[in-house]
Amino acid sequence: MKKIKNLGMASLLFALMSLSGCHKGERPEDISERIHESSPAIIRWGVKVDTNLFGYYSIKNQEIEGFDIDLAKALTKKIAGPEAEAEFVEVSAKTRVPLVKNGNIDAIMATMTITDKRKQILDFSKTYFKAGQAVMVPENSSIQSLSDLDEGKIVLTVKGTTAASKIKEVAPRVKTLEMESYSEAFTALKSGQGDAMTTDNSILLGIMTNNPGYHLVGGIYTRDPYGIAVDKGQEAWLDTINEALDELVADGSYQKIFDKWFPKDAEDSSIMTEKEE
Ligand code: GLU
């Protein structure tokens, strides 16, 4: 009952009703209410720890760093004040949905594309980053365009992402090998167990930053807008996130965070330059 300690009367009633009436695994609380009624507030963000530039555990600094991390910290303060704390919980593409559905995290901020299929079980904020899928190969590879991805070629991807099905749309004859994480997929590419690796250009950029000798071929072949995902039934929480995002854009904080992590020519990925949505 530790959580109930910080809740107001309305939430207490709601929590008690939920505890007695709901099935195991159902959310007993309104996240927005919990955050606004606790002091200092803690917001639990599900983030990547293996994705350079977005959410990456730095051994040197002994903390998770990246664009998603800085944006989550800024949103936390904007939403719940300067004393509020952002708590980070490691997720992967495979675990992020169950973790937010069972209430272990309040929101997913983890390079997650807004898709119609995912919208059936989650709600998404407005776009906070615009990515698109690309293909990465060693610089000396014979693969120079998507049309070189023919029969017999193996393309590495990661489980739980949009990448495997999308590469099949542009290169239907390739075989895809889905790994558990980006580090596994990249290790497989390095050791020649695959001919190419595919995921968002932004994630591949993070890998190439740390590993010279690789490049992208064939251009960007999907639109993958990233959104912050919350469980269904958390409308007030989602509104709070969207309002705070708008404020971070309006006061220049969003751009500052973007410029800290991405080169100038990545400007097109920023929601500041949003043209289509
Ligand atoms: N944006 C893609 C997706 O949401 C891949 C990124 C990821 O691995 O999180 O499936």
pLDDT tens, 15-70? Answer: 333 333 344 445 457 999 999 898 899 999 999 999 999 999 999 999 999 999 99
Is 110 within a domain? yes
Q: Please tell me whether residues 138 and 213 are part of one structural domain.
A: yes
Distance 163 CA to ligand 1 centre (A): 7
Is 40 within a domain? yes
Report which of residues 21 and 91 the model is more confident about.
Answer: 91
Determine which residue's CA is closest to atom 6 belonging to ligand 1: 111
Could you tell me the two tokens for 31? 């996240």
Q: Which domain holds residue 246?
A: 32-129+226-264
Is 11 within a domain? no
Determine which residue's CA is closest to atom 3 belonging to ligand 1: 161
Q: Please tell me whether residues 76 and 195 are part of one structural domain.
A: no
Q: Please tell me whether residues 202 and 94 are part of one structural domain.
A: no
Phi-psi region of 211 (alpha: psi -120 to 50; beta: other; left: phi over 0): beta
Q: How far apart are the first and last CA of the chain?
A: 43
Is 109 within a domain? yes
24-33, 151-160, 182-191, 194-203: least confident range: 24-33
Is 25 within a domain? no
What is the pTM for the complete model shown? 0.87
Is 27 within a domain? no
Any ligand 1 atom below 6 A from CB of 162: yes
If you average pLDDT over every residue of the chain, what do you get? 88
Tell me the C-alpha distance between 254 and 248, whole Å. 5
Sort strands 42-47 and 85-90 into parallel, antiparallel or unpaired.
parallel
Q: Please tell me whether residues 167 and 120 are part of one structural domain.
A: no
Closest atom of ligand 1 to CA, residue 131 = 1
Tell me the C-alpha distance between 249 and 51, whole Å. 24
Q: Please tell me whether residues 237 and 125 are part of one structural domain.
A: yes
Q: Please tell me whether residues 109 and 37 are part of one structural domain.
A: yes
Q: Please tell me whether residues 192 and 205 are part of one structural domain.
A: yes
Is 93 within a domain? yes
Number of domains in the chain: 2
11-25, 32-46, 87-101, 253-267: least confident range: 11-25
Tell me the C-alpha distance between 15 and 110, whole Å. 29
Any ligand 1 atom below 6 A from CB of 65: no
Q: For position 273, what pLDDT does the model report?
A: 67
Closest atom of ligand 1 to CA, residue 224 = 1
pLDDT band at residue 84 under the 50/70/90 scheme:
very high
Q: Edge-to-edge strands of the sheet including 50-51?
A: 50-51, 55-58, 63-65
Q: Please tell me whether residues 114 and 138 are part of one structural domain.
A: no
As a whole number of Å, the CA-based R_g of the chain is 20
Angle between helices 67-80 and 253-261 (to 10 degrees): 160
DSSP result, the chain: -GGGGG--HHHHHHHHHHHHHSPTTS--S-HHHHHHHSSS-EEEEEE-SEETTTEEEETTTTEEESHHHHHHHHHHHHHH-TT-EEEEEE--TTTHHHHHHTTS-SEE-SS-B--HHHHTTEEE-S-SEEE-EEEEEETT-S--SGGG--TT-EEEEETTSSHHHHHHHH-TTSEEEEESSHHHHHHHHHTTS-SEEEEEHHHHHHHHHH--SEEEES---S-EEE--EEETT-HHHHHHHHHHHHHHHHTTHHHHHHHHHS-GGGGGGSGGG----
Q: Please tell me whether residues 49 and 103 are part of one structural domain.
A: yes
Q: For position 26, what pLDDT does the model report?
A: 53
Any ligand 1 atom below 6 A from CB of 224: yes
Any ligand 1 atom below 6 A from CB of 189: no
Distance 162 CA to ligand 1 centre (A): 6
pLDDT band at residue 2 under the 50/70/90 scheme:
very low
Closest atom of ligand 1 to CA, residue 182 = 8
Q: Please tell me whether residues 49 and 169 are part of one structural domain.
A: no
Angle, CA of 269, 272 and 277, to the nearest 5°: 80
Tell me the C-alpha distance between 88 and 185, whole Å. 24
Q: Please tell me whether residues 58 and 117 are part of one structural domain.
A: yes
Is 275 within a domain? no
Tell me the C-alpha distance between 147 and 145, whole Å. 5
